[in-house]
């Protein structure tokens, strides 16, 4: 019996942090609006968003995730800490490049260590929708 218990523990995947960067023609102000306002978030990220103060409930096909906005620097940085996921967060950092003056959206997220590629692919889909929604 201890051998089976050991196997179950060994199959638990480690959670890892990863970052992705995306270039936009849209201004930091427009991108900021699309990552903070529920009516804009639903246009690219999830099916529904409800917020009470700084607590946001994001819904995808009946599945909910609750995040508290713990950092909000207008046009620069937004960070949501996930409820029930110790130390995990979703962070959006917005900045302009010095050379090309393009806007960069840097996303920090978490996933199982064997799903990083899949999560990055999912973010590519989200960002394609975001660019279509914000013109950029």
pLDDT of residue 119: 95
Q: What is the 3-state secondary structure (H, E, C) of the chain?
A: CHHHHHHHHHCCCCEEEEEEEEEECCCHHHHHHHHHCHHHHCCCCCCEEEEECCEEEEEECCEEEEEEEEEEECCCEEEEEECCCCCCEEEEEEEECCCCCCEEEEEEEEEECCCHHHHHHHHHHHHHHHHHHHCC
What are the tens digits of pLDDT across the range 64-110? Answer: 999 999 999 999 999 999 999 989 999 999 999 988 889 999 999 99
Judged against a pLDDT cut of 60, whether residue 9 lies above it is answered with no
**What average pLDDT is seen over the chain?**
90
Residues 1-26: what's their mean pLDDT? 70
Specify the CATH architecture of the domain 16-134: 2-Layer Sandwich (3.30)
């Amino acid at each position: 019996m201890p051998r089976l218990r050991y196997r179950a523990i060994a199959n638990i995947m480690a959670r890892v942090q990863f970052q992705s960067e995306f270039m936009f023609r849209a201004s930091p102000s427009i991108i900021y609006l699309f990552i903070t306002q529920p009516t804009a978030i639903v246009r690219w990220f999830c099916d529904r968003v409800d917020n009470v103060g700084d607590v946001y409930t994001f819904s995808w096909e009946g599945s909910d995730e609750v995040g508290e906005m713990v950092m909000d620097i207008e046009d620069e940085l937004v960070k949501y800490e996930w409820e029930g996921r110790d130390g995990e967060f979703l962070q959006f950092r917005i900045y302009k490049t010095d050379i090309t003056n393009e806007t960069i959206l840097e996303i920090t997220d978490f996933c199982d260590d064997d799903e990083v590629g899949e999560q990055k692919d999912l973010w590519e889909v989200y960002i394609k929708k975001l660019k279509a929604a914000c013109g950029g």
